[in-house]
Structure 1
């Protein structure tokens, strides 16, 4: 009997790659999707589409009932990326970030834990290494992923003796559509604060954009392999950090705070010269 897994965020990024890998390995892949138009494409790829909206608890519960009483794996890959200075990020963006990246994950876990418990299954949450070393201007995504990390650690201890194993995968920057989606969302929402306040950050933000444009994003393959190991290893690790930049950034947490911050700022092109008053 093939093993079963539900994957959220399967219509893009890591989730899509994980779904293809597990399907090729013989798993029955339940592919969560919000838009009815995505169902045919997912079915054509060999997956079993399941209508699920993380922000709608009734939708999540209906998906759990449709999948049934046993589930071998749950991969929480759905996420959005908020970016920008803390002072300029609108409250709506903060709420949306946590609604999907934290509250939505908890809602899905709560709905599917009975089926996972019945099967002695696994939960794999996709975090981000920025949760441990938050870069400037990425506070929203880093804060939500730090909350997801805390949720994952607490959950792992809570279900440790119930036969359910829980892992967190923290990739570095990967070549996925999430950055383009984040830029579009930021443009649509705009910044909070006055034009005068925004000028305090203008040169630093330009420097970060220039640095990001030169950055070579890593492949998703290491993260996919980590998810597969978390689902199949006899003793999965609590945490998998993937990507060369992910491991390098994670290592910085052992440095003194001021030194670490100077190194991160320099790596992002944010030096003293790009900070200035609003004029």
Structure 2
């Protein structure tokens, strides 16, 4: 048996849970890991998405990460695995993105976004940690470059990613003595159905503003959409992002954080070296260049 065949056989004895695999990064990551021989439990919210992703080494599971019953069922599935495979990794990818100026987004929408993007991640980690202790496995939290630098209008989503960055740092330091790794992925622009919904979401929020709010933020919302769509043209493919994430599981030596895309790397570098006021001016200029003329 060749070395690669032995490696694939070894991987086939391990499970990886990926949340939010209906589309985009999660879907691509699940397929990439399955192609490398891992057995992927792919979290989806609808039966139609389960049918679409089911395939060799991919078993879809109905998983809303804010639903404790779904999480409990997943834990039972792992513990009662017929092949007695260990859980190698949890990839926390499921998330929602709602962006708007702080004043105009209803508090219920803030809470909904935190329920999914923060508390749902915590719930998954708490539930699967016992299995990850056993395997000395890996937790990969999919953050965003917005978790490092928040542009005007991106406060709701960025706030959840800042929170995920902080809890990941604490978690990494808590779990290091027990051999469980925690890795953060910070994507910039990645082509996905979520990224293509920027305009429709922004138009809905703008239409729900009062006339006074539109006078304050209408130009900003237009600039946010224009800037986002310009990034999408040069965005990293979901497949490339999936390969980078899969590498964090398969590589023996890993960093604590990875960016995806040149835009993410640039923003992280600027955020690191520039004073806040200088960065504020640069980001404001970038926004203004996309305001309607």
Q: Normalization by structure 2: what TM-score?
A: 0.86
Whole-angstrom CA distance in 2 between matches of 1:84 and 1:247:
24
RMSD between superposed Cα atoms in Å: 2.2
Specify the alignment match of 1:228 in structure 2. 246
Match 1:257 to one of 271, 276, 290: 276
> Is residue 35 of structure 1 aligned with residue 46 of structure 2?
yes
User: How far apart are 1:214 and its partner, in Å?
Assistant: 3.1
Q: Deviations over 1:65-97 (max 9, x none)?
A: 112273001111111111111111111211111
User: Does structure 2 retain, via aligned residues, the 8 Å contact 1:72–1:119?
Assistant: yes
1:42–1:219 CA distance, 2 compared to 1 (3 A): closer
Return 5+ residue gaps in structure 2 as ranges.
Answer: 1-9, 81-85
Matches within 5 A, 1:76-225: 76-181=92-197, 183-185=199-201, 194-215=210-231, 216=233, 217-225=235-243
Specify the alignment match of 1:24 in structure 2. 35
User: How far apart are 1:102 and its partner, in Å?
Assistant: 0.4
Whole-angstrom CA distance in 2 between matches of 1:151 and 1:76:
13
Aligned length: 274
1:206–1:190 CA distance, 2 compared to 1 (3 A): closer
SS of 1:153 mapped into structure 2: helix
User: How far apart are 1:39 and its partner, in Å?
Assistant: 2.2
SS of 1:230 mapped into structure 2: helix
> Is residue 75 of structure 1 aligned with residue 86 of structure 2?
no
SS of 1:137 mapped into structure 2: coil
Q: Normalization by structure 1: what TM-score?
A: 0.90
Whole-angstrom CA distance in 1 between matches of 2:286 and 2:202:
23
User: Does structure 1 retain, via aligned residues, the 8 Å contact 2:26–2:94?
Assistant: yes
User: Does structure 2 retain, via aligned residues, the 8 Å contact 1:204–1:270?
Assistant: no
User: How far apart are 1:64 and its partner, in Å?
Assistant: 1.1
Return 5+ residue gaps in structure 1 as ranges.
Answer: 275-279
Specify the alignment match of 1:248 in structure 2. 266
Whole-angstrom CA distance in 2 between matches of 1:64 and 1:187:
40
